[in-house]
Every structure is written in C-alpha cells, then in structure tokens.
Amino acid sequence: MNIAQDMSLFSLVSGATLPVQAVMTLLLLASLVSWWYIFIKVSMLYRAGDEADAFEHAFWNGGDLNKLYESLSSGRRRAQGMSAIFEAGFKEYTKLKRQGGMEASDIMEGARRAMRAAYNREMDELDAHLPFLASVGSVSPYIGLFGTVWGIMNSFRGLANVAQATLAHVAPGISEALIATAMGLFAAIPAVIAYNRFTANVDRLAVRYESFIEEFTNILQRKG
C-alpha cells in the first residue's frame, strides 16, 4: 500500500464518504461567501467613513445650509450616511415651516423623526451581511465537528471487517475527519474576526450619526 499517496490531501477529500464530502462542500461555500461579504463590507465601511468626514468638513465649515442641501439633492448620486440624515431632516424642516400654523416644537419633532428614519435606513445598510458572518463564525465549527464525528465513526466501523487493525486502516478515516474540522475552523475564524471588526466600525459610525442628529437638531432650534 502506498501510504503517502493515499494520505495526500486530494486523495483524502476525494475518497471521503459522501456525508463528509457534503460537509466539506458546505464549509467551502460558506467560506467563499464569507470572504465575498468581507470584501464588500470593507469597501462599504471605508466609503461610509470617508463620506462622514467629508460631510462634517462641509457642514461645520460655516456655509449656508440651504446651499449644502441643494448641492446634495441635485447630485447624481443618492445621499448616503450622514448626508442622507441631513437631507431628510432639512427637507422635512423646510416643508413643515413653509406650511405655517405649526408650533416650533412640532416642526422640530417632524424633522427629528425624518432624521431618525434616515438613520435607521443607513444603519440597516451598514448592518447588512453581518448576521451571515456571525452565523458562519458560530456554526461552522459544529458543522466541521459533525464531519469529524462521522469520519471517525466510519473509520472505526470499518475495523469490524478487519482481522488485525493497523494504523493504515484507520488513518484515512481519521485524517478526513480532521480535514473537516480544519475546514470548519478555516471558515469560522475569518468570519468571527471580520464580524467583530465590522461591528465595532458600525458602532462608531452609529455614534457619529446620532451625535450629528442631536447637534443638527440644536442648530435648527436656534435657526427657527
């Protein structure tokens, strides 16, 4: 028996039992989708941070709020992040004030509700795909463990038909089981690290957005 050839990675994967191969395929797909979402989230959060920095610079530069609103509403791209919150709040504030006959508190409450609605939409976009990464990070090790248990069980079950058990008889089954475990960790570890990092970044952006809502509300109160 050529043990070196039989114990190669390709031979172990291709020679694994169908349930273990299904586990490996599932973990591989989960890992690939996780990395795809990771690249998407890195780009999304990077743009969100840059957009917040650029908008805060323009907002606190002391320019006219009407001009800032017109520049955002007339742009080709839809306002995102802090810009979307400002646009929603200022639009509602202007509309309610033009109606006349409304208390200042009602106008401010309407503007605040519009900003909170825009804030919730932006947070939904920032939180997209994070539950999937959390699921992969928490479930993948157990899926790999299932493949491990099945491979070891199948390996020892095969010993029932062998008169004299040797390492050569049990090594392939145990090895394919350990590969399933390794693939589970390979899928889980990057997903957990990415989830924790992205969650922290989203939380920081949420704090910035909420602080802007409060500050902009105070500005509108003084303006009114």
Q: pLDDT tens-digit profile of 2-22?
A: 444 455 666 666 666 788 888
pTM: 0.83
Q: Quick: pLDDT tens for 25-55.
A: 899 999 999 999 999 999 999 999 999 999 9
Residue type, 122: E
| Residues 224, 96: Cα–Cα separation, whole Å | 11
Q: How would residue 172 be classed by pLDDT, with cut points 50, 70 and 90? A: low
Residue 68 half-sphere exposure toward CB, CA atoms < 13 A: 21
pLDDT tier, 220 (very low <50, low <70, confident <90, very high otherwise): confident
Give the pair of three-digit tokens for residue 71.
């520049």
The domain ranges of the chain are 3-62+130-223
Give kind and range of the element (H or E) at residue 72.
Answer: helix 65-73
Find the helix packing angle between 82-99 and 104-127, rounded to 10°: 160
Rounded alpha-carbon distances, angstroms, from residue 195 to 50, 140, 213? 21, 14, 26
134/174: higher pLDDT? 134
What pLDDT shows up at residue 112?
A: 93
Backbone angle region of 129, left / alpha / beta, with phi > 0 → left and psi within -120 to 50 → alpha: left
Please tell me the predicted confidence (pLDDT) of residue 224.
Answer: 61
